[in-house]
């Protein structure tokens, strides 16, 4: 079984502008697709790879130029400094869920087959999707569905969840389908459940908070001329990355100096996000929602 097929592989690696003697970071190692391509272009350079999923360790090659860290990328800066790395030449992040995580039913990431409601990217974590659904206050659940799934009827979804768990606690994927089935818009079942599962996965794994932390740390670690390369898969991530690359903050608020010139830590390499072409989508349908953004630190 294929662990993962990286989206926009050629474009993202080219975007890193790899120098043979440089220091690079892959914060989402996964199946190692991006890392392998980076290593092909290094001579005396070094690659540091992060992945919090212990399964990713099985894909790590025996290469003295590669340092693999089985940790969340939110600990980027501390780990680099601990390993005596004070600046880097480039960082790549391929956000989202790997094929491996989607295709292992017991991980609970997909609504296409019944499985325990887990959704932890790091299985040492204590909070699963089932625990979240069974214990969170109704208002907090509504916030999750509104903020991470962009549901306008998030309060109704949350109240339906609370009512359902009083009868039977959530334990499996089918429990969600049974509880929320009556709320699915006509002919939009796939889109509805995809957004429900996205909401829960983001909440379980603190994805938005940790992405924010990683991006801020990447700015402090990148040297002048270093590249930040990020592939996103939904609008929440993409908006954050776009704003951060454009202005250096997540609100997208442009700051100007005394003379009215925009102050930003990055130069945009891609003005608009790069998306997969028809040929790539034909060979890898899961790449359809991918969007690549590249920026260079000034």
Pick from 205, 232, 249: which residue ends a domain? Answer: 205
Give 126-190 as a 3 state SS string.
CCCHHHHHHHCCHHHHHHHHHHHHCCCCHHHHHHHHHHHHHHCCCCEHHHHHHHHHHHCCCCCHH
Average pLDDT over residues 61-71: 97
> Residue 50 to residues 71, 111, 214, 291: CA-CA distances in angstroms?
6, 27, 11, 21
Model confidence pLDDT, tens digit, residues 101-148? 766 777 878 888 899 999 999 888 889 999 999 999 999 999 999 999
State the residue range of the domain holding 256: 9-99+207-297
- The pTM is what? 0.94
CATH of the domain at 110: 1.10.150.170
* 43: in domain: yes
131 and 74 fall within a common domain: no
188 and 269 fall within a common domain: no
CATH of the domain at 48: 3.40.50.150
74 and 191 fall within a common domain: no
State the chain's mean pLDDT as an integer. 94
Task: Return the pLDDT at 2.
Answer: 56
Burial of 214 (0-12, 13-18, 19+ CB in 10 A): buried
Answer whether 27's CB lies under 8 Å from 54's CB: no
Average pLDDT over residues 164-188: 97
133 and 62 fall within a common domain: no
Share of residues in the chain with pLDDT > 70 (%): 98
């Amino acid at each position: 079984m294929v662990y993962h097929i990286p989206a926009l592989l050629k474009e993202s690696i080219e975007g890193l502008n790899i120098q043979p003697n440089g220091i690079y970071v892959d914060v989402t190692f996964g199946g190692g697709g991006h890392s392998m391509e980076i290593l092909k272009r290094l001579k005396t350079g070094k690659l540091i790879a992060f992945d919090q999923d212990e399964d990713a360790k099985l894909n790590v090659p025996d290469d003295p130029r590669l340092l693999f860290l089985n940790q969340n990328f939110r600990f980027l800066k501390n780990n680099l400094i601990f390993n005596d790395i004070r600046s880097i030449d480039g960082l790549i992040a391929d956000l989202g869920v790997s094929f491996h995580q989607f295709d292992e039913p017991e991980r609970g990431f997909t609504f296409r087959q019944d499985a325990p409601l887990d959704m932890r990217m790091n299985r040492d974590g204590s909070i699963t999707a089932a625990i979240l659904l069974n214990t969170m206050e109704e208002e907090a659940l509504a916030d999750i569905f509104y903020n991470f799934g962009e549901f306008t009827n998030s309060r109704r979804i949350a109240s339906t969840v609370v009512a359902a768990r009083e009868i039977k606690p959530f334990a499996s994927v089918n429990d969600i389908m049974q509880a929320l089935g009556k709320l699915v818009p006509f002919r939009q079942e796939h889109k509805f459940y995809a957004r429900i599962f996205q909401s829960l996965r983001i909440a379980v794994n603190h994805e938005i908070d940790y992405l924010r932390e990683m991006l801020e740390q990447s700015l402090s670690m990148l040297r002048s001329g270093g590249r930040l390369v990020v592939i996103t898969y939904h609008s929440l991530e993409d908006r954050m990355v776009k704003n951060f690359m454009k202005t250096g903050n997540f609100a997208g608020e442009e700051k100007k100096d005394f003379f009215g010139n925009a102050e930003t830590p990055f130069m945009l390499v891609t003005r608009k996000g790069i998306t997969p072409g028809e040929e790539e989508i034909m060979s890898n349908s899961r790449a359809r929602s991918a969007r690549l953004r590249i920026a260079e630190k000034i």
